[in-house]
Amino acid sequence: MRRVELRRAAAFLCALAIAAAASAQSPALSSWNDGEAKTRILDFVRAVTDPKGKDFVAPADRIAVFDNDGTLWAEQPLYFQALFMLDQVKAAAPKHPEWKDNPAFKALVAQDKAAIEKMGMKPVLELLAQANSGMTVAEYDATIRNWLATARHPKYQRPYTELTYLPMRELLDYLRANGFSTFIVSGGSVEFMRPWAEKAYGIPPEQVIGSQMEVKFEMKDGKPVLTREAKIAFVDDGPGKPVGIYRHIGKRPILAFGNSDGDFQMLQVTTAGEGRRLGLIVHHDDAAREYAYDRQSHIGKLDKALDAAPANHWIVVSMKSDWKKVFAFDK
């Protein structure tokens, strides 16, 4: 067999294998209740994968982007990364005796909301940056992994990595089984997501896009290392998300899924493209199983994007009525 023929045969075998894996997942999206959201997702995937249909999209262009906090896992009572960074302030305190006179440190340790509101976020952010920089990226990675293994969510008393949404994990699997590439596009920082995103979502490190701190190359004890600096390099939120997507992927996604106004521009750019597109928003309306919040929330505020959804044909997914289960541990 000639090389070109063998390649074709290989491609054909792979396509068969992928199709077999896809059909094995039937029924797809089993944690989703029947309804408009599920129907429109299934319709969309059918349309863009039908090689004879007018909406067909080649696998290389089946790019799907997902916000993380509040879209793939929970984000209340505070972004989990913020909780981690606060814990780093406490852990670093013994090495910083000078902090005991720092009003921001005192307010954080005492959880004194009134004092923080009075002083503003600047001194708090400076303290967080100081406690979360100066080490090599490998050292910081070890700290993140250790925290994830031991910290527990205040409401659920479970590791944070168990607070991923089961219906979203099913959707990610379903899209990949249909030839999509799935990317995280988060306001959180890349290094906080990468250690667990592959296991939790099947998304490898190179498909995680996020905010970035400055890191610096240097030689340390004869070894090349990257050291974290106390300076933000890029904020992957709001209008930053389309920039992150452009820089990292270089293609316009055909599907975007978010949950807050921080995802507004990502949804706009995705659904403004030619051909068939899908925009989706998780609406947190489930106080019983998770949390209920939108326009007034200080975390994951959903206001402008909610108003813009109908005109843009974005699907507003109700956590309460569209999802049979929220978490894998739900009964």
Q: Which residues bind its own copies (CB under 8 A)?
A: 1-3, 6-7, 9-11, 13-14, 16-18, 20-21, 24-25, 60, 137, 181, 190-191, 194, 204-208, 212, 215-217, 223-224, 226, 233-234, 239-240, 242-243, 246-251, 265, 268-269, 272
* Euclidean distance between the first and the last CA atom of the chain, given in angstroms as a whole number: 54
Give 24 or 288: the residue with its C-beta nearer to its own copies.
24
Give 88 or 211: the residue with its C-beta nearer to its own copies.
211
Q: For Cα atoms 33, 30, 272, give the angle at the middle one, nearest 5 degrees.
A: 70
Spell out a b/e string for 106-136, using b for 16 or more CB atoms within 10 Å of the CB, else e. ebbeeeeeeebeeeeeebbeebbbbbbbebb
Q: Rounded CA gap, 127 and 44, in Å? A: 46
Give 251 or 289: the residue with its C-beta nearer to its own copies.
251
Give 21 or 287: the residue with its C-beta nearer to its own copies.
21
Beta bridge partners of 219: 224
The dihedral built from the CA positions of residue 290, 112, 82 and 149, taken in this order, carries a sign that is: negative
Q: Closest approach of Cβ 78 to its own copies, in Å?
A: 25
Beta bridge partners of 224: 219
Tokens at 174, concatenated: 């379903």
Give 76 or 182: the residue with its C-beta nearer to its own copies.
182
Compute CA 174 distance to the chain's CA centroid, rounded to the nearest angstrom: 17
Give 25 or 33: the residue with its C-beta nearer to its own copies.
25
Q: Closest approach of Cβ 141 to its own copies, in Å?
A: 10
Q: Closest approach of Cβ 301 to its own copies, in Å?
A: 19
Burial of 207 (0-12, 13-18, 19+ CB in 10 A): buried
Q: Closest approach of Cβ 91 to its own copies, in Å?
A: 23
- Output the CA torsion 112→77→183→39 (10° steps): -160
Q: Closest approach of Cβ 227 to its own copies, in Å?
A: 11
Q: Closest approach of Cβ 84 to its own copies, in Å?
A: 18
Give 112 or 229: the residue with its C-beta nearer to its own copies.
229
Q: Closest approach of Cβ 34 to its own copies, in Å?
A: 21
CB 266 within 8 A of CB 243: no
How many separate helices (H) and strands (E) can be counted in the chain?
Answer: 13, 7
Q: Closest approach of Cβ 8 to its own copies, in Å?
A: 10
Give the C-alpha distances (Å, rounded to integers) separating 216 from 92, 231, 309: 21, 11, 41
CB 227 within 8 A of CB 215: yes
Q: Rounded CA gap, 274 and 271, in Å? A: 8
CB 194 within 8 A of CB 140: no
Tokens at 194, concatenated: 């990468």
Q: Closest approach of Cβ 104 to its own copies, in Å?
A: 29
Give 16 or 287: the residue with its C-beta nearer to its own copies.
16
Give 119 or 249: the residue with its C-beta nearer to its own copies.
249
Q: Rounded CA gap, 233 and 122, in Å? A: 17
